[in-house]
Amino acid sequence: MQQEQENSSVTVFREFLRIRTDHPKPDYTASTKFLVEKAQQYGLQCEVYNGTGLPIVIMKIEGSEPTLPSVLLNAHVDVVPAVLDHWKVNPFDAYKDEKGDIYARGTQDMKCVAIQFLEVAHRFIKSGKKFRRNLYLTYVPDEEIGASNGMEPFVKTDKFRELNVGMVIDEGLASPTEEFTVFYGERAPWWIHITAEGNTGHGSRFIEGTAVEKLMRTINKMMQFRQDQFDLLHKGHHECGKKLGDVTTLNLTVLKAGVGEGPFPNYSYNVIPTVAEAGFDIRIPPTVNLESFLDQIREWTSEEGLSFKFANYTEKNELTDLNDPDLKWWTVFRESCDKMGLKLVPEIFPAATDSRFIRNLGIPAFGFSPINNTPILLHDHNEFLNEKTYLRGIDIYEGIIPNLANM
């Protein structure tokens, strides 16, 4: 029996998956070369911008009215590491099983969308489709580690301003149901490091005012807040439909104290440490006032005289208001999906994407990965995407993007 020939768009997707753009040493040289060669092969205008310190690939289909605000399709090319021992196949081989499931790091986050954008642009070029507005595709680095050399500085450049962006489509999440999720905002990531200082002494005595005591009392208050938010989420599932993106998550991720240095057991167990530290990952929805939440952190820490600093801080966290009657971008996006029989579920993205930098400029951004009936496996072991789901995603974008570019 002759083996069925693979769809060329799937082949391109698998080729891109094999490029090692995983941290801590993503091969941006290889990914840039791949994308530039594909753009040239497909007849897309293309340039590489290096103004942020790392390459950003910019592709373009010019519109007939290029002064109109443009449509931007944005994708990050980097992926998180993969722990090989927890994968049933090599996560960088792009292995496809007999069901058409493609296993690789980045299949969902977000090399699928990156190549779907490329392949749908190829369709537009082949068919000779014309648009009123300029259509841009950007491929950016370092999203997975905070975007400090990617989208964050890029939006402040003259090059970005030249794009005259009117709206953006960026990554979303897979949906395990028949529905498709679309994200209009996301939670602000705050990484906070708290330091307590206190009295020292012999471990056999009741020393008062120790650093660990002070820190633990503060941690307990913060963990009570965590429990309250957890209860709100699970109560909300039954009463008012709360999703993860609607509540504030707070997780203790760093804890440090002790006199001496590792490895275990090279510590002075009979000496009470003068310093104790804790780190938290906090994710705050755009419905929460950030200054008020900062006051809450000040209150928690000041009661024990603790100091804190941010390892990651977001000062502004705008959302795209889908209830704004003047937001025609959303009307066109939603109606395009309606015509294809797609049911959209608007949500707040529970983590952080490059869209936050776009929205903070007042530019509408929709996080939308056209993946349904698929478990959410971003950053997880054995991340996969079925080839039929991937190909349908190209069709879906083909049904949405022209309506936006001709709006």
Q: Which of 49, 52, 57, 51 is nearest to 74 (CA)?
A: 57
Count of residues in the chain: 407
The reply to whether 143 belongs to the active site is: yes
Are the C-beta atoms of residues 27 and 129 closer than 8 Å to each other? no
- The active-site residue, picked from 22, 109, 119, 143, is 143
How many alpha carbons fall within 13 Å on the CB side of residue 3? Answer: 4
Q: Is 162 a residue of the active site?
A: no
Is 70 in contact with 138 (CB distance < 8 Å)? no
Beta strands in 41-89, from DSSP E residues, in sequence order: 45-49, 56-61, 70-76
248 near 230, Cβ under 8 Å? no
Distances (CA, A) of 39 to 26, 75, 115, 245, 396: 21, 15, 11, 36, 21
Q: State phi, psi for 27 to the nearest 5 degrees.
A: -90, 80
Give me 29's structure tokens.
Answer: 């040289």
Rounded Cα–Cα distance for residues 178 and 325 (Å): 28
- What is the helix (H) or strand (E) element at residue 299, kind and residue range? helix 290-302
Q: CA 136 to CA 368: how far, in whole Å? A: 16
Q: Give the closest residue to 344 by CA, choosing from 355, 335, 352.
A: 335
Of the candidates 78, 109, 171, 383, the residue annotated as catalytic is 78
Q: Are 349 and 152 in contact (CB under 8 A)?
A: no
State the helix-helix crossing angle for 28-42 and 8-17, rounded to 10 degrees. Answer: 160
- Among residues 196, 225, 189, 127, which one has the least CA distance to residue 352? 189
Q: Which residues are catalytic?
A: 78, 143
